[in-house]
Structure 1
Amino acid sequence: MRRHFLIAGALACTAVLSPLAAWAQAAYPSKPVRIVVPNAPGGAADLTARTVGEKMAKGLGQPVVIDNRPGAGGVVAGQAVASAPADGYSLLLISSGTAVSEALFKSLPFDSRKDFIPVAPLATFDLVIVSSPTGEFKTLAELITWAKANPGKLNIGTPAIGTTQHLAAELFKTAAGIDAQVVPFKGTPDVITAIRGGQIQVGLDILSPLLSQIQGKALHPLAVTGTKRSRVLPDVPTAQEAGVKNLNAASWNGLAVPAKTPKAVVDRLSKEINVALRDPDVRKKLEALNLDPHPGTPAEAAAMLNGDIQRWTEVISRAKIERQ
């Protein structure tokens, strides 16, 4: 009889707790939500989070606060969210850079695949291969033909070693079947200066900071590296259209929450993010940053992260880049 009493008591407690748990999830959110951004204020990642967060706040009925935590290749921000309660009040801006860090660093204080649940993509942005307008390459096919006839003599400039752009250049070499040198610079301005000064023949970088140089005819675009043409450069072919198969190196960003966050909370956040991304005003603001809004599901965001981790791990191994 005592055992039956205990079982009955447990069932009674469950009956009481289940409505309480449902009420707690239904009450979400009951306080401000923060988005931790691994970049300084003012950049594309920060502005993306602020633009989407402002619209999300209206749907959630609570403020969305941006918490900028730059440093250590995103490790500072990632650790802050990985160690936060799994209650939906701390989100992390993840990106292709998150995947690069997972592939490049031997040891991180978190595992991007195990310690986070991707909630939704936010936006994608193109990478572009550029040359000097006075140089000898007017098309990507001409560049590849020259590189194959002159092995080891083509120099491809990118921002710092270990960036998405740097690894995309290594992937381009393999996909194009060419022997070339990837030359990492401190940043985009140095890449531009080196191309215009003739120290390197081509560069590979994110389109957005190069766009004014391209529109001003100071740089000549040869191809974008994603699977579709750029909205702002519709006449420029993709690398695949130019004959380089198996090259897909577009960048992206999205939002994630700590692992074990309740599914109902993840679904609510995903819904509000997608509502924001489909808002005409939000889309207009993101497109002004040369970003392409990318509504999507948690599963799609997870596939983007996992696919990039696998891709960049293979590139790092093949290019014999020392893991840090």
Structure 2
Amino acid sequence: MNRLSRRQILAAGALAPWLPAARASDFPSRPVTLILPFAPGGVADVTARTVGQAMAPLLGQPVVIDNRPGAGGIVATQAVLGAPPDGHTLLLMSNATAVSVHLVRKLPFDVQRQLLPITTLGFFELGLAVPANSRQGTLKELLAHARSQPGRLTIGTIAVGSTQHLSAELFKARTGIDALVVPYKGSPAVINALRTGEIDVAFEILSPLLPQLKAGTIRLLAVTGTQRFASLPEVPTVIEQGVADYSVDSWNALAAPAGTPAAAIERLRAAATQALAQPAVVERLRELGVKARASQPAEQAKLLADEIQHWGRVVRAARIEPE
């Protein structure tokens, strides 16, 4: 074996600090896979595809969407955690990520320790909808009706533990009404039940409600954000109508496995931030009821921590047992 000369060793040492930077500049070296814990076609899926398509030319590589629904997000999360932590495999997080901490008795991972935040993509509130022929024209009228007939008001949502379901439980707690929350298999079933009068009110994200609102088959009494939704300026918030300390936002964000190089995280964050600033992306998300919003990793980490605490209180108050 040939010995290295002192000059060769010194030369190698001089080059060493530049090697990580050179590797970082080559990222990504192949397509980036974004794994979603949701089926195709929903708000999260379309959001991911819209932002991913805009990120691709900025990264110089395609962003491939891989839908892996199932087990409350566990399937998708484990797929990401099992991938090399090099920035080429990402997870689409949501507030369901925070809720799962309280709904799964033995979660096989620690989302705060094993996932690195990159950036949020967007936030979207829910709508409180009633049938078009409902006698209640405002939220105050709905609450008065509910209080006059305890236990009679029916609130439709999707599955137990979903943002919609927990938002309804939080609404009951904040208003003090006695109402029956009825979970359905999906948004189409909830909307159909609302249109036919099977339920009195529905808590649902805005995207599936907007076509029904335009068709005149439902009415929106409120939105759950802290501010009115720009596309529906005539619809007041729940807070505006006297329900203090009530706001709910769903959100989506990007995360990578722990151990992913900081340079890769920053490259992905910068590309997503630039994509979210593009007018076409902002408009497409707005059509879905989503407010495009990027963040720093630290902001996203705080959001997740706050959401875990918040939804934990709601789950316990609603006496939902983990499975």
- 1:78-121 Cα offsets, whole Å, 9 max, x none, are 10111222211111111122222222111222221111111111
* 3-state SS of paired residue (1:130): strand
Cα pair 2:131 2:200 within 8 Å, conserved: yes
* 3-state SS of paired residue (2:133): coil
Equivalents in 1 of 2:280, 2:196: separation in Å? 40
* 3-state SS of paired residue (2:17): helix
Deviates more, 1:186-195 or 1:163-172: 186-195
Amino acid at match of 1:155: T
Equivalents in 2 of 1:267, 1:105: separation in Å? 32
1:12–1:168 distance in 2 versus 1, CA, 3 Å: farther
1:12–1:290 distance in 2 versus 1, CA, 3 Å: same
Aligned position for 1:225: 224
* 3-state SS of paired residue (1:99): helix
Aligned position for 2:38: 39
Deviation at 1:13? 7.6
Aligned position for 1:264: 263
Equivalents in 1 of 2:47, 2:267: separation in Å? 20
Query: What's the TM-score, normalizing by structure 1?
Result: 0.91
Equivalents in 2 of 1:93, 1:203: separation in Å? 26
Equivalents in 2 of 1:268, 1:105: separation in Å? 33
User: Which residues in structure 2 correspond to 1:84-103 (within 5 Å)?
Assistant: 84-103=83-102
Deviation at 1:149? 2.9
Aligned position for 2:194: 195
Aligned position for 1:286: 285
CA RMSD of aligned residues (A): 2.0
- Aligned: 1:69 with 2:68: yes
Equivalents in 2 of 1:215, 1:152: separation in Å? 31
Deviation at 1:289? 2.5
Deviation at 1:233? 1.4
- 1:151-210 Cα offsets, whole Å, 9 max, x none, are 222211111111110001001111112222211112222222333333321111111101
Equivalents in 2 of 1:300, 1:11: separation in Å? 42
Deviation at 1:255? 0.6
Deviates more, 1:234-243 or 1:70-79: 70-79
Q: Which runs of 5+ in 2 are unaligned?
A: 1-8
* 3-state SS of paired residue (1:300): helix
Cα pair 2:93 2:255 within 8 Å, conserved: yes
Aligned position for 1:152: 151
Equivalents in 2 of 1:204, 1:231: separation in Å? 19
Once the two structures are aligned, what percentage of the paired residues are identical? 50
Deviation at 1:63? 2.0
Cα pair 2:92 2:252 within 8 Å, conserved: yes
Aligned position for 2:234: 235
Equivalents in 1 of 2:149, 2:128: separation in Å? 19
Equivalents in 2 of 1:184, 1:63: separation in Å? 38
Query: What's the TM-score, normalizing by structure 2?
Result: 0.91
Equivalents in 2 of 1:179, 1:14: separation in Å? 71
Q: Which runs of 5+ in 1 are unaligned?
A: 1-9
Deviation at 1:15? 5.4
1:61–1:243 distance in 2 versus 1, CA, 3 Å: same
* 3-state SS of paired residue (1:285): helix
* 3-state SS of paired residue (2:113): coil
Residues matched between the structures, number: 316
